[in-house]
Amino acid sequence: MAKAGFGGGCHWCTEGVFQALRGVALVDQGFVQSDAPADVWAEGVIVTFDPSVIPLATLCEVHLRTHSATRARSPQSKYRSAIYIFEESQRAEAEEAILHFADASGQQVHTLVLPFSGFRASNERYRNYYRTDPSRPFCRRYIDPKLDLIRRQFSELALPEAQLIAERAIDRGDGP
C-alpha cells in the first residue's frame, strides 16, 4: 500500500471522489499541512491505495478532473489545490500527471506538488460525509456530478453503484 494526499475544494467532495475508486483502501478526511509557504492547514484527504490496482498517476488525473485545478489560489489558502507526496519518488509521477492534464485541457494548471508534513482529522460528524447521507443537498449538487464523471471517464476503476449503496447503508447502521 502507498499513501498520497489531495487538496482542492471542499474535503467532503474530495473524500467522496476517492472513496468511489477501486484500489483505494482508506480515505482520511481532514486538514493537510506542507512546508512553508504551504504550511497553513488546508482541507484535504489522505488516500491509502494499492498502486498495482490504481497508480498514483491515475489518482492524480481523477483529482485534477474533479476539482478546479485551473483556478489560481494562494499556497496558504484553506482550499489549496495540491497533491501531497509522502515519498520524493512520487514527485515525478505527480508532476507528469499535471503536465498531461494541462496539455489535454489546454489550460494552465495551478495544482502544486508538495511534501506532506502533517494531518489533522476532521470532526467525526463530517467524516464519510457522502456515504452517511448522499441525499443531502450539498451531496446532490456538488458530489454526485463528480461521481458521475468518474463513472463515465474512469468506468474501469469506479466501484459498482450497488457496492456504493451497500456501503452507505452500513455506514448509516442499517446494512448487514
The residue type found at 8 is: G
Identify any residues that bridge with 47 across adjacent strands, giving them in sequence order. Answer: 4, 27
What pLDDT score does 167 carry? 57
What pLDDT score does 163 carry? 52
Tell me the C-alpha distance between 40 and 52, whole Å: 33
3-state secondary structure of 30: strand
What pLDDT score does 63 carry? 95
What pLDDT score does 164 carry? 55
pTM (2 d.p.): 0.87
| Element (DSSP H or E) covering residue 44 | strand 42-49
Range 2-167 has CATH code 3.40.50.1820: no
What pLDDT score does 169 carry? 46
- The position carrying cell 504551504 is 38
Count of Cβ atoms closer than 10 Å to residue 162 Cβ = 8
Q: And the C-alpha cell for 52?
A: 498495482
What pLDDT score does 77 carry? 76
Q: How far from chain centre, in Å, is Cα 6?
A: 5
What pLDDT score does 161 carry? 64
What pLDDT score does 168 carry? 54
Largest CA distance in the chain: 47
What pLDDT score does 166 carry? 44
Using 50 as the pLDDT threshold, list the residues of the chain that sit under it.
162, 166, 169, 174-176
